[in-house]
Structure 1
Amino acid sequence: MANAGGVARSRIGWGFFGAELKRRREEAGFTQRALGERVFCSGAYIGQIEAGVRRPQLELAKRIDIELGTGGFFARVCEELINSSPDADWFAEVSSLEGMAVAIQSYSPTVVPGLLQTPDYARAVFVAGCRFAMDEEIESWVAARLARQCILDDPTRPMLWSVLDEGVIRRPVGGRAVMREQLLHLTELMRRRRLVLQVLPYAAGASALDAMLKLMSFEDAPPLAYSEGVMSGSLLDDPAQVARCRLAYDLVRAAALSPEASVALIESVAEEYAGEDRA
């Protein structure tokens, strides 16, 4: 969800963070590889941060401060940049990480994932969650969500794999017309081979996951898991926790319909919405 607090955009950027990291690393006499070893990442990853290509997690910024003796400078800059994001506090870091991932796999029990939402569907989701928000606020949140979808412009990266609970495609968010458009958008992404999508049917029974889950994989950094609750989110980087999330996701994926059967079901439900409109 977008940041309803209306935080002003920061006057500094991730390019500044990277330039300062390079300057202070060299002053401390570290190579990129040496610093990476001390903060538990690759030297190539440090180089990408310095070039402004990658954005560090807050925990990594804190470890850099310790190793370079910078008194919390990089953590403060990192927090400033995260807080200036149009996304909610707990999601801002995840939003930046999406653009760096080579693969994003998700499970959604209630709504279509933000990266796959149409404008009208996204608007309906925000209105449902923020009944008393002004139209201007709603539209700014919708714009921020759609801006994240620029990563779909690349025909191959990141690889997207999504599992939706059957209730997601049967709940008419925004009304029947909006929902039909949303479902057709999903099938179009699948036909373009931009997305692998499965539906977890009601008949599968209990799910191995009871909350939204997003798994992100990177070229030069360990995988991460993100789970979201009511007005909160948790970004997990502990390898054991991420492995448990991966196992639960794989169990959900194994219980879901095949991609081909999922497309057929989604198209059938979309036609049901169209039929109801004609009636």
Structure 2
Amino acid sequence: MPGPTISRRQLSGVLRRLRRDGSLTLEEVADRLEWSSAKVSNIETGRTAKPSVTDVSALLRVYEVAEGTAEHDEVLALVRQSRKPGWWHRYGDVLTGAYVSLEAEATRISTYEPIVVPGLLQTENYARLHQRAASAPLAAEEVERAVEARKQRQALLARPDAPRLWAIIDENALRRMESEPEMMQEQLEHLVRVGEDTANGVTLQVLPTTKSFRSGLVGPFVILEYSGPDIAPFVFLETDTDGLYLERPEEIERYRTLLEQAQSIALDPHESVELMRSLMRR
């Protein structure tokens, strides 16, 4: 069973499909249930954070999904799962937005990072320094909470069902650590270990400064993908407060193209490890 956030997204996809299969509009469903069309829409789009079993059961009756059938039971199981808190709720004071919960349930994560080392690959000391340098400085105890949350995020790479991670890091992001040589050494050693491990499901490439991204100036982005036909992929663009979530097919296709371009001009995984070794202290 997927986690709560993906259960909610999957539930949204299933309810939308059932309504369309019945050739019903939001207004028609609302009329039959004596609800507002906004309520139907909020449940269907996931804006209702914790939909009730009672409400979804009512929708299933309208969509003629009979009680006791496998489909009926599976949909209600998604409802119950979507109401459970994930581990990230314990870090609500230092984590904002929905990204972490969506990342935790992805089956494939593809990221391009021109400025910093991707969060899933940061060492503890790098993460601590990164948090201290944030545009909105955190108190010392908040920094440690944020570092602990980062470690919790990274634990997903050790799961038996860990997502595939494809990370492209700009060489400038690595060289930016030169003012902190000990931390740089530790971070590069970690990246080399990750890059050399052929069984960890991680592909690591470095985009060298000798090559340019032909699409012009492109900021960091992440493409998250999921298993199951009712869970659409999306692109995440980070901002200071949380980020932008792009879900339209044309937006997904654009960033897939950007990712493929970056993959084609970046060093291959072996060459990337060699470049990182060359940046380490002798």
Using structure 1 for the length normalisation, give the TM-score. 0.70
For residues 49 and 32 of structure 1, the distance between their equivalents in structure 2, rounded to whole angstroms, comes to 17
For residues 178 and 32 of structure 1, the distance between their equivalents in structure 2, rounded to whole angstroms, comes to 58
Percent sequence identity over aligned pairs = 28
Aligned equivalent of 2:17: none
Using structure 2 for the length normalisation, give the TM-score. 0.69
Aligned equivalent of 2:262: 252
> Kindly tell me: are residues 44 and 207 of structure 1, through their superposed partners in 2, closer, same or farther at Cα, counting changes over 3 Å?
farther
Counterpart of 1:205, as a letter, is: S
Aligned equivalent of 1:241: 251
Aligned equivalent of 2:170: 165
Aligned equivalent of 2:204: 197
In the TM superposition, what is the alpha-carbon distance from 1:187 to its structure 2 partner? 1.6
Retained in 2: the 8 A contact 1:212–1:227?
yes
In the TM superposition, what is the alpha-carbon distance from 1:164 to its structure 2 partner? 0.4
Which residue of the other structure, out of 64, 68, 79, is the alignment partner of 1:50?
79
Retained in 2: the 8 A contact 1:111–1:168?
yes
SS at match of 1:101: coil
Confirm or deny that 1:26 pairs with 2:57: yes
For residues 77 and 249 of structure 2, the distance between their equivalents in structure 1, rounded to whole angstroms, comes to 22
In the TM superposition, what is the alpha-carbon distance from 1:146 to its structure 2 partner? 1.4
Confirm or deny that 1:128 pairs with 2:138: no
> Kindly tell me: are residues 23 and 84 of structure 1, through their superposed partners in 2, closer, same or farther at Cα, counting changes over 3 Å?
farther
Larger radius of gyration: 2
For residues 182 and 197 of structure 2, the distance between their equivalents in structure 1, rounded to whole angstroms, comes to 23
**Per-residue displacement from partner, 1:215-259 (whole Å, max 9, x unpaired)?**
011002111111124445111111111111111111111110111
Structure 2: runs of 5 or more not aligned = 9-47, 66-70
> Kindly tell me: are residues 225 and 44 of structure 1, through their superposed partners in 2, closer, same or farther at Cα, counting changes over 3 Å?
farther
> Kindly tell me: are residues 25 and 107 of structure 1, through their superposed partners in 2, closer, same or farther at Cα, counting changes over 3 Å?
same
**Per-residue displacement from partner, 1:154-194 (whole Å, max 9, x unpaired)?**
25620000000011111116711111111111121222332
In the TM superposition, what is the alpha-carbon distance from 1:27 to its structure 2 partner? 3.2
Please list, as runs of the form range in 1=range in 2, the aligned pairs for 1:1-279 lying within 5 A after superposition. 20-30=51-61, 46=75, 49-52=78-81, 85-89=92-96, 92-129=97-134, 132-154=137-159, 157-172=162-177, 175-193=180-198, 194=200, 195-208=202-215, 210-220=218-228, 221-270=231-280, 274-275=281-282
Q: Say how many residue pairs are matched.
A: 227
**Per-residue displacement from partner, 1:111-135 (whole Å, max 9, x unpaired)?**
0011111110000111112585321
> Kindly tell me: are residues 222 and 28 of structure 1, through their superposed partners in 2, closer, same or farther at Cα, counting changes over 3 Å?
closer
> Kindly tell me: are residues 30 and 99 of structure 1, through their superposed partners in 2, closer, same or farther at Cα, counting changes over 3 Å?
farther
